[in-house]
Amino acid sequence: MPDTILIDGDTVNFDAAFPPGSVVVKPGKLSAKGEATVNGKKMCVEGDEKNVSVAGCMYTTPIFSIPGTGTLKINSLAPNQKAMKTATGGKKVLLKGAKFIAVFEVQSPAKFQPPGTSPPQQDPMKKYIGTGSFVSTNQKTKGT
């Protein structure tokens, strides 16, 4: 089924839920490397999703309520986000599709302050898994 081809500058929206954590998300942008263009902008091709990185996002968990920070990235695309047939420069183009798998990589752990004078405890998790989606400015060109 044809779907919207992603192009340079399209928005990457991350969902806030990274169970059990919750992230104060910021959008990312796709930087396209494809040879073909749509409305003067390069098409996104397989591999372009690996360059999306949104640093400095705060997060907490139900236990670790003192915010920490980390970086949002795309972990893997859904099968319907990579074209089966449409390609440019020998690489499959990226499609809007459904939801991709996102990863939140912890840089500064969230903390929990136990009762009394004990020092804060740090979240031991180094990453959390969530989801996200694409928003495209391309309203015309579709791929399969």
Burial code (b: 16+ CB inside 10 Å, e: under 16) for 85-118 equals ebbbeebbbbbbbeebebbbebeebbbbeeeeee
Domain residue limits, the chain: 3-138
In the numeric block, the tokens 């930087």 are attached to 31
Please state whether beta strands 127-135 and 100-108 pair in parallel, antiparallel, or not at all (unpaired).
Answer: antiparallel
Would you tell me how many other CB atoms lie within 10 Å of the CB of residue 26? 14
The pTM score is 0.95
| Three-class DSSP category at 67 | coil
In the numeric block, the tokens 């990235």 are attached to 73
In tens digits, the chain (144 residues) has pLDDT values of: 899 999 999 999 999 999 999 999 999 999 999 999 999 999 999 999 999 999 999 999 999 999 999 999 999 999 999 999 999 999 999 999 999 999 999 999 999 999 988 999 999 999 999 999 999 999 999 999
